[in-house]
Amino acid sequence: MISPEGRAPHGIPQARPLGHEVSSVGLGSWLTYGGSVSEQTAKDCVWRAYDLGVNFFDTANSYARGRAEEIVGKALADFPRDSYALATKVFFDMGEGPNDGGLSRKHVFEQVHHSLRRLGVEYIDLYQCHRYDEETPLEETCQDMDDLVSTGKILYWGVSEWNADQLAHVVNLCGANGWAVPVSNQPQYSALWRRVEERLLPTCLEYGLGNVVFSPLAMGILTGKYVSVDAFPRAPGPLGRPSSSCSGTSPRKCSTRCSGFGRSLRRRAAAWPSSPSRGASPKTRSRA
């Protein structure tokens, strides 16, 4: 997570985005758990990350329609609950009904209980609004989150892929009404996807929000393993192929350049979001 505080030490440092210490590198589960990798592989990844000092794990109710939450919950079940922070999200459709998506009180209330059941926990450390809901009054969503904090079902709440104006509005709205203020945003950010630098990161810095950065390796492009644009992964939904993030460079040239750096490229790319030159320092970057 990128935070407004000072730069963290080398390695996998600990930071305080949620009032308690979490690792500056988190493990996500987008496009993988419940989909492209087996449950055993997912468990091995979680356990390896935990052994290396990662204690922040991020998922969402919509990942594989809840299957990712189940797998993450099972993988973490053998560890003490107070030894890790668990984050999930709500917004995208989970059914065909008129109330099966969005950030309405009904959908949020039902989905938080489904997530708690799938994860096998009594509370969620960080509950995130996966997208901004244009159809639900922001006041309703903010009060919903405040109620969930008050009842102990979640400890903190945040958002994902909200723009700078939406972030400023929600922080001011919650502050004016005495509601729990969101503590984080989750944007896509990498050396190839830098649009958040102009307004979003400065806004988070101004309002004291951390950023749970996802896809710091640009869905694998910055590992150097793709030698052709045709092999680039395609994400479901609006993100699509990340090739458009290769600013000023054709996708094929981008792929070719990346493939020549090997392990050095992977290390540089993973460190990119938390570099001091980016304008903020690390709290947690979730490797979705």
Catalytic residue positions, numbered: 63
Continuous segment of H or E residues that includes residue 160: strand 154-160
HSE of 5, CA atoms in CB hemisphere, 13 A: 12
Please, what is the Cα angle at 23 between 22 and 29, to 5 degrees?
100
Cα separations (Å) of 131 from 128, 136, 178, 185, 252?
9, 12, 23, 10, 31
* 221's tokens: 């492009």
3 state DSSP class of 130: coil
91, 130 contact by CB (below 8 A): yes
* Residue 21 burial (CB count, 10 A): 13
As beta bridge partners, residue 127 has 88, 157
- Rounded to a whole number of angstroms, the distance between the first and last alpha carbons of the chain is 13
254, 219 contact by CB (below 8 A): no
Torsion on CA atoms 45, 46, 51, 55, rounded to nearest 10:
140
